[in-house]
Structure 1
């Protein structure tokens, strides 16, 4: 039985990881042992060394582990050269990457003439699969980064138009979330525990708490 480590990511605290949770059961159903699940809320263009959970995942990897993610852009939206450095870091640990969105277990099984219920995870270790991945990753990371770049351009254009029309208000703070963060910290709960309890990033807790303390000085 192969060992899987599942990585889930969304970009902001306002986004929900719930949709990606089905990866856990899907991975187990296909015969993998799920050693750990790594969840974080951080931009996909953040380098992997700066992403606490992805950095921890890579540190935990053992030879022949399989890294599972919903799609390539959950792992990275970095420009291709940097993205391939992340993939190389995973492979350097003797691990491999499985992206069900593209390398679907059932589709691969049918292509090989097998029933999806009897899928042999050993195929993921074959030379054929490695060659398929090499070709796919070079294309996929380029598409993921290009999609990110286009979204940022459209976002910038939308903001500029809204400013010209006097409609732009900027991102509005989540007042209730900020109150909860402040209350947790007032109660002596650590930044790490507050972030986990409220399902936000530690950087968000630090930012809100710092702003609160600065306001208390005046």
Structure 2
């Protein structure tokens, strides 16, 4: 059994590694350790995520997918959540989320409670129900935030106060410097700039698109 920790933040200016210490402390309390971390800055509404896909590719049966909260794994709509959940189940991967105490059984060394098949079946059913419930709540929270954000932007536009979001151009230029001038790999560039691998790829794609528009 390998514990694979998944860390996600929605935007480039958020710290995806924020929960790393929390997850490490959690596994230590359960006399376990994290085998690998998968970190990316990408919306939880997207089904196709590079680091999550890499985690699924690396997974062996009975491995643990460790997350801080269910909303770090999904803000997907119902159809996409069912697709992701099916992929997870087909891999034999077990979700352990700090906001779902019933999921701790997958990681806990105290296995005595699993000796009773009825108790085990009941707990697994409760666990699956809670995960699905929190997944639905995460999606609802996302939609509510989007609606409020849209209302706020519309109001700011009416008042002439909306300027849009400004990218950190200096940091983005560092990415291109390390990639094009220093010829560093994506992983090396991510380490040098503090971005995730998926962020580096997105910044590259953005600069390539801008360059094409100028030609």
Partner of 1:139: 133
Q: Tell me, what secondary structure is at the counterpart of 1:163?
A: helix
Which one of the candidate residues 201, 204, 207 is aligned to 1:206?
204
Partner of 2:80: 82
| CA-to-aligned-CA distance 1:18-42 (integer Å, 9 cap, x gap) | 3211212321331224221111111
Q: CA deviation at 1:210?
A: 1.6
| CA-to-aligned-CA distance 1:153-209 (integer Å, 9 cap, x gap) | 111111111000000000012122123123222333344532343214133321343
The verdict on how the C-alpha distance between 1:209 and 1:172 changes in structure 2, with shifts beyond 3 A counting, is same
Partner of 1:149: 143
> What 5-or-longer segments of structure 1 have no aligned partner?
109-117
Q: Tell me, what secondary structure is at the counterpart of 1:56?
A: helix
Partner of 2:24: 24
Q: Distance in 1 between matches of 2:212 and 2:34?
A: 44
- Contact 1:44–1:78 (8 Å) recurs in 2: yes
- Contact 1:80–1:138 (8 Å) recurs in 2: no
Q: Distance in 1 between matches of 2:110 and 2:58?
A: 25
**TM-score scaled by length of structure 1:** 0.82
How many residues in Structure 1 have an aligned counterpart in Structure 2? 204
Q: Distance in 1 between matches of 2:72 and 2:111?
A: 22
Which one of the candidate residues 174, 184, 187 is aligned to 1:189?
184
Q: Tell me, what secondary structure is at the counterpart of 2:101?
A: coil
Aligned CA-pair RMSD: 2.6
Pairs within 5 Å for 1:170-189: 170-184=164-178, 185-189=180-184
Partner of 1:113: none
Pairs within 5 Å for 1:101-120: 101-103=99-101, 120=110
Q: Tell me, what secondary structure is at the counterpart of 1:37?
A: strand
> What 5-or-longer segments of structure 2 have no aligned partner?
none
- Contact 1:38–1:53 (8 Å) recurs in 2: yes
Q: CA deviation at 1:5?
A: 1.1
Partner of 2:41: 41
**TM-score scaled by length of structure 2:** 0.83
